[in-house]
């Protein structure tokens, strides 16, 4: 075989095998580490009362229909403290060392047992040994060992738990699952011991911890934001009259999955024309016409952390004069909101800065008569915390490590009490902002925001174009 034929053979047969081998043997290696979760548990225990206990349950499995379950999604608090993504588990965190099942410590976790028959259908279950090895938690038991005598509430002064708000007493498939059994035991024991449940204190502790992102968390949110921006950018390139909202959604979510996102961070909002004026529109079925604006509020989730990005673009690649005016007013408001993202500033200052711009602008345009009236066209807040949840926990001040959205919008549905030329214009621009010790950083800056940059990107070729 000559050199040219050898090279052709390599390209035809060997290279695809090498690619296949990479795809089937390599897994992501950038998950949060056991040390990260251990550090979060330690930080939580420091904030407990002298003889307090924190009790965190895994999420319950839910039936979608008949014998099909919803894809499992772990409780964010449970995941934050453990990294475990299996159901039927409970984590106990004590301020002072206690003894449970002949083991002494401040951390105990009860997990589901190995089950070869279930694993045949749904994949490997770690079991107690697997959880101990993978997540480095010292005291691990199977959940069948959890009983009414597991926690001695006589020495407990406060119980830090949120199980009553997590809807985990649902009867799964007409039988009591291990999670519900353990939750019922805890509920009965707390009632019998008459111990206070420190729900509000727990919320404050979790907001302080989860609201200030660690470097490992910022890295994951940044990756989710980059994936999201890639999706938004290709929608800008691909969009055209005659495309449906769901086709734009498909392009968006393709880029998420292509880059390793496990799920969208929330149901994708892709609304054209009047649908852009529906804040949480998720039907996504409309055909786009020439002259429509498309509002896409879509983002990727990566290893449990989500981005939250919105862009508004013209279906024909060119803003009309009225669309441009409203868009640039929203952009000016967003710039003001981002400028207000200063370390130590009140969280509410971002909304105040953006809303002042929108209120004044709508009055100047004659769309409203007074600034107070402007709220009906900008009815939501400008910001929320971002992280494990798309509407995450966090402090009321913009401390370094906070990640928040800045997302002003103007929505003028048909029939509004203003000139008809403004009707069906819905604009929202949303970016993910990290508060730093000296200012802020836009984690989603790689997707264009200005009219000129969006129209420029609209002239580029999408990866889905064949001509």
From first to last of the 467 residues of the chain, give the pLDDT tens digit. Answer: 444 443 333 333 333 333 333 444 478 999 999 999 999 999 999 999 999 999 999 999 988 898 899 999 999 999 999 999 999 999 999 999 999 999 999 999 999 999 999 999 999 999 999 999 999 999 999 999 999 999 999 999 999 999 888 877 776 666 788 999 999 999 999 999 999 999 889 999 999 999 999 999 999 999 999 999 999 999 999 999 999 999 999 999 999 999 999 999 999 999 999 999 999 999 999 999 999 999 999 999 999 999 999 999 999 999 999 999 999 999 999 999 999 999 999 999 999 999 999 999 999 999 999 999 999 999 999 999 999 999 999 999 999 999 999 999 999 999 999 999 999 999 999 999 999 999 999 999 999 999 999 999 999 999 998 65
Give the active site residue among 430, 431, 432, 449: 430
396 is catalytic: no
- Using CA atoms, how far apart are residues 204 and 465, in angstroms rounded to an integer? 50
**What per-residue confidence (pLDDT) applies to 172?**
64
**What per-residue confidence (pLDDT) applies to 465?**
85
Helix (H, G, I), strand (E, B) or coil at 381: coil
- Using CA atoms, how far apart are residues 308 and 388, in angstroms rounded to an integer? 11
Which domains are seen in the chain, by residue range? Answer: 34-208 (3.40.350.10), 212-458 (3.90.230.10)
371 is catalytic: no
407 is catalytic: yes
**What per-residue confidence (pLDDT) applies to 457?**
98
Give the active site residue among 280, 290, 364, 465: 280
144 is catalytic: no
Give the active site residue among 384, 389, 399, 455: 384
411 is catalytic: yes
Tokens coding 233? 């950018």
67 is catalytic: yes
303 is catalytic: no
**What per-residue confidence (pLDDT) applies to 26?**
77
Closest CA to 122 of 200, 79, 47, 68: 68
**What per-residue confidence (pLDDT) applies to 466?**
64
431 is catalytic: no
Cβ atoms within 10 Å of 169's Cβ, excluding its own? 14
CA atoms within 13 A on the CB side of 45: 18
- Using CA atoms, how far apart are residues 348 and 368, in angstroms rounded to an integer? 24
- Rounded to the nearest 10 degrees, how much is the dihedral formed by the CA atoms of 95, 185, 64, 254? 10
**What per-residue confidence (pLDDT) applies to 1?**
45
102 is catalytic: no
**What per-residue confidence (pLDDT) applies to 4?**
43
């Amino acid at each position: 075989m000559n050199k040219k034929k050898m090279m052709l053979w390599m390209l035809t047969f060997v290279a695809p095998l090498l690619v296949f081998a990479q795809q089937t043997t390599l897994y992501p290696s950038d998950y949060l580490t056991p040390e990260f979760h251990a550090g979060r548990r330690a930080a939580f225990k420091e904030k407990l009362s002298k003889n307090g206990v924190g009790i965190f349950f895994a999420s319950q499995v839910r039936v979608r229909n008949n014998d099909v379950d919803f894809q499992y999604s772990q409780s964010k608090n449970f995941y934050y403290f453990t990294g475990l993504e299996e159901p039927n588990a409970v984590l106990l965190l004590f301020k002072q060392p206690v003894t449970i099942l002949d083991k002494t410590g401040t951390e105990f976790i009860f997990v589901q047992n190995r089950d070869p028959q279930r694993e045949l259908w749904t994949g490997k279950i770690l079991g107690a040994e697997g959880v101990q090895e993978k997540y480095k938690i010292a005291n691990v038991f199977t959940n069948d060992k959890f009983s009414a005598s597991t926690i001695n509430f006589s020495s407990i002064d406060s119980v830090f738990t949120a199980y009553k708000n997590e809807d985990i007493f649902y009867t799964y498939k007409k039988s009591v699952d291990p999670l519900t059994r353990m939750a019922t035991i805890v509920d009965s024991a707390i009632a019998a011991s008459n111990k206070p449940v420190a729900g509000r204190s727990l919320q404050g502790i979790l907001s302080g911890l989860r609201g200030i992102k660690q470097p490992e968390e910022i890295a994951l949110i940044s990756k989710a934001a980059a994936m999201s921006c890639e999706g938004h950018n290709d929608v800008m390139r691909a969009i055209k009259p005659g495309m449906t909202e769901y086709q734009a959604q498909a392009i968006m979510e393709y880029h998420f999955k292509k880059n390793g996102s496990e799920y969208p961070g929330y149901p994708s909002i892709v609304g054209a024309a009047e649908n852009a004026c529906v804040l949480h529109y998720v039907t996504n079925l409309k055909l786009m016409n020439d002259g429509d604006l498309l509002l896409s509020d879509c983002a990727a989730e990566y290893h449990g952390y989500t981005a939250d990005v919105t862009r508004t673009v013209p279906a024909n690649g060119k803003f009309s004069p009225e669309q441009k005016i409203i868009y640039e007013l929203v952009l000016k408001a967003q710039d003001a909101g981002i400028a207000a993202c200063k370390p130590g500033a009140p969280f509410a200052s971002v909304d105040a800065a953006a809303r002042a711009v929108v209120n004044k602008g709508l009055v100047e345009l004659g769309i409203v008569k007074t600034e107070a009236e402007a709220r009906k066209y900008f009815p939501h807040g400008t910001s929320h915390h971002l992280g494990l949840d798309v509407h995450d926990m966090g402090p009321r001040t913009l401390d370094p490590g906070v990640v928040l959205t800045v997302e002003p919008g103007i929505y003028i549905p048909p029939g509004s009490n203003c000139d008809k030329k403004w009707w069906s214009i819905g604009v929202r621009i949303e970016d993910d902002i990290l508060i730093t010790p000296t200012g802020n950083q836009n984690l989603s800056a790689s997707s264009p925001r200005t009219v000129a940059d969006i129209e420029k990107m609209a002239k580029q070729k999408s990866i889905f174009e064949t001509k």
